[in-house]
Amino acid sequence: MVSRVMGHFIKHPTSRVKIAYELLLLGIFILIPVLVQNRAFLTVCLMCFFYAYLALSWNLIGGYGGQLSLAHGAFFGIGAYGTGILFTKFGLTPWIGLLVSAVVSGIFAYVIGKAAFRFRVKGFYFLLVTLAVTEIFHEITKDLQFIGGARGLWLPAKLGWVYFQFRGKVEYYYIAFGLMIIAITISYLIEKSKLGYYLIAIREDEDAAEASGVNSNVCKTWALTLSGFLTAIGGAYYIQLFYFIDPSSGFSLGLNIDLMLMTIIGGIGTIKGPVLGAFFFVVISELLRFVPVESQPLVATTRIFFGLALVGTSIYLPEGLVSLRHTNLRHFLSKSQNAEA
């Protein structure tokens, strides 16, 4: 087995270069907290990892399965509120609360998928159904006073690994980085599995896939279930990072849109695309904070920029930022000139 792998590397030097580059990048990310002590910089880095994790989770159903979902705001909120409620009301450590909330979110995602896909709900109608799910949770949570209602839920400060609360950002950095690595690994395993091949076939032509014997309902349901499970873990991380969650940030339509933008701009249906898109989204959002805009609030300015970025990517880089290294510059410029003409 080892000789076969070594033989592959000898015959394919590009594989060695690629692995060396990825190991170098991995080493840099691991050493950043050691080399850089700036809290603001570490916060930007961990938010890059965090949103990359969420975008990869959304990509399982939205990218590979081709089902654009707006239910991930609900999954995120279930993870955040579930962990917070179990900690504040029952004294359960957030690590256990995280797993419980993720399982509940996964079951809920399975129920949604089972019902929607059984009745052939897809495309624009699936988008509307999942949007309704998030909005229902948002409105219900606003009226539940025992978890703070519209004012939100605050966590008591109890520092330590047991309580998933830390004084600095280094621990949060490595946890977010670990989550991103886990999401990348899961995405890779699914992409190379039968489920991944089936999902891609469904995305390209669902009728043809079913004619070939693929059970599209089962495949899409399990992809949505796993996606919901992982997204809830992201929600649990969020409330532990900020000690707070409310209906607007927990069951957020904006989060759904952001995840879609990150994935599409970066490269939907790929592994590197959501990561690139998330890094691009977070870094540009931080840079826009320094742009003096008087007539528009910062959120509106950010939305306008990424809306334009989405249009530009759709025209000039339909496969996303991930295709930049495969795109010939001369071909790109000629395509731009043709578009202007």
Which helix (H) or strand (E) is 154 found in, with range? strand 153-154
Residues 192 and 187: their CA atoms lie apart, in Å, by 9
- Does residue 134 lie in a domain region? yes
- Does residue 324 lie in a domain region? no
**Percentage of the chain with pLDDT > 70?**
87
- Looking at residue 155, what DSSP letter applies? P
Question: Domain range holding 170?
Answer: 41-252
Helix (H, G, I), strand (E, B) or coil at 12: coil
The mean pLDDT value for 12-41 works out to 83
Within 10 Å of residue 190's Cβ, how many Cβ atoms?
20
> Quick check: 12 pLDDT over 60?
no
Residues 214 and 202: their CA atoms lie apart, in Å, by 8
Residues 303 and 95: their CA atoms lie apart, in Å, by 34
Q: What pLDDT is attached to residue 2? A: 38
Residues 165 and 124: their CA atoms lie apart, in Å, by 40
> Dmax of the chain from CA atoms?
65
- Does residue 209 lie in a domain region? yes
pLDDT mean across residues, the chain = 88
- Does residue 292 lie in a domain region? no
- Does residue 196 lie in a domain region? yes
Residues 26 and 177: their CA atoms lie apart, in Å, by 10
> Quick check: 335 pLDDT over 80?
no
> Quick check: 290 pLDDT over 90?
no
pLDDT digits (tens, 9 = 90+) for 172-200: 999 999 999 999 999 999 999 999 999 99
Structure tokens at 58: 């959304």
- Does residue 126 lie in a domain region? yes
> Quick check: 220 pLDDT over 80?
yes
- Does residue 206 lie in a domain region? yes
**Percentage of the chain with pLDDT > 90?**
68
Helix axes 72-88, 216-242, angle to 10 degrees: 50
- Does residue 159 lie in a domain region? yes
Which helix (H) or strand (E) is 26 found in, with range? helix 13-35
What's the domain count of the chain? 1
Helix (H, G, I), strand (E, B) or coil at 335: helix
